[in-house]
Amino acid sequence: MTLEAILPPERTLFGVPGGSKKRVLEFFSTFIAQNTPSLDSQEVFGRLIARERLGSTGIGNGVAIPHARSPHCKGPIAGFLKLVEPVDFDAIDGEPVDLIFVLLVPEEADDAHLALLAQVAGVMNDAETRGRLRRSESQRELHERLIEAIRRQG
67: annotated active-site residue: yes
Pairing of strands 97-106, 67-70: parallel
- Cα within 13 Å of Cα(117), Cβ side: 17
Amino acid at 25: L
Rounded CA separation 90/97 (Å): 9
Q: At what angle do helices 127-135 and 110-124 cross, to 10 degrees?
A: 80
Q: At what angle do helices 127-135 and 139-153 cross, to 10 degrees?
A: 170
- Could you list the active site residues? 67
